Amino acid sequence: MANLGNPKATIELIQKHGITFQKKFGQNFLIDAHVLNKIIEAAEIGKDDCVLEIGPGIGTMTQYLAEAAGHVAAVEIDKKLIPVLAETLAGYKNVTVIQGDILKTDIKAIADRYNGGRPMKVTANLPYYITTPIVMGLLENDIPVDTITVMVQKEVADRMRVGPGSKDYGALSLAVQYYAKAELVANVPPNCFIPRPNVGSAVIRLTKYKEKPVRARDEELLFRLIRASFNQRRKTLANGIGNSPELPFTREQAAQAIGRLGLPAAVRGEALTLSQFAGLSDILERV
């Protein structure tokens, strides 16, 4: 089977199988070998690795992964693409295609079966409509995965990696950075895909922490505080916390805790670091 990382081979395959791109599944296939190589390189995939690929599509990145990795398990939701994958991946003995929805897939069972339960590396050109549930599911649940190298919408990549002081800083930044170190690998323009998405894209690498960078005695409270402060971004942090139906604290209790942290009374949530949110959470936990 011809290498797919180029427009000609991809268009030929699509015509041969009469494939229509499913917008509802976020199908934008990569056609740029340079970008594909960059993803494989950034994910640091070697023959000892088992890779979980989310959404193999017609198998473009899967071919690159199969060359580099020990084993590839690829989960694809679109039943119509399964025979196409059988054809494009026929030359590789180390690939398993699983038809299903990644959000309902038992990833631990895949690691048990293909990697002796050891952590896998996740790579994907993600379907953008479910980026956050996929990434947060991989981070929050105790799933055997150590790195996640994925193509996402550029704006989402920015939100995942920035800190206080950026307009993109928010609940997603803090949630991702609580679990992983986030690094930008590359910005990717729309012409690297077929069909072209109408947003810019970026590859981001998330390396899961073995030890969390901050400790909060009550993790759930920490995330309620984060949500409350960004739900009402324009309000002061004290008002955001005082008004939140998810939290039992009054505005005054919040203001006192903010004062104890040494922050100004009118501070907004968007000015706090993850470690300051953890400090606030520990103070309020004792109220």
Q: By CB under 6 A, name the binding residues for ligand SAM.
A: 25-30, 54-57, 60-61, 75-78, 101-103, 125, 127, 130
Task: Determine the residue with CB nearest ligand SAM.
Answer: 55
Residue 198 beta carbon to ligand SAM: minimum distance, rounded to whole angstroms: 13
Closest to ligand SAM by CB, 62 vs 177, is: 62
Closest to ligand SAM by CB, 60 vs 244, is: 60
Residue 234 beta carbon to ligand SAM: minimum distance, rounded to whole angstroms: 34
Residue 132 beta carbon to ligand SAM: minimum distance, rounded to whole angstroms: 13
Closest to ligand SAM by CB, 12 vs 285, is: 12
Residue 48 beta carbon to ligand SAM: minimum distance, rounded to whole angstroms: 23
Residue 30 beta carbon to ligand SAM: minimum distance, rounded to whole angstroms: 4
Closest to ligand SAM by CB, 61 vs 216, is: 61
Report H helices in 58-184: 60-68, 82-88, 107-115, 131-140, 154-161, 171-179
Closest to ligand SAM by CB, 34 vs 212, is: 34
Contacts for 194 with CB less than 8 Å, ≥ 6 apart: 7, 10, 11, 14, 28, 29, 31
Contacts for 123 with CB less than 8 Å, ≥ 6 apart: 39, 40, 43, 45, 51, 52, 53, 61, 65, 148, 149, 150
DSSP 8-state symbol, 268? -
Write the CA distances from 261 to 58, 63, 163, 228, 279, integer angstroms: 53, 52, 19, 18, 7
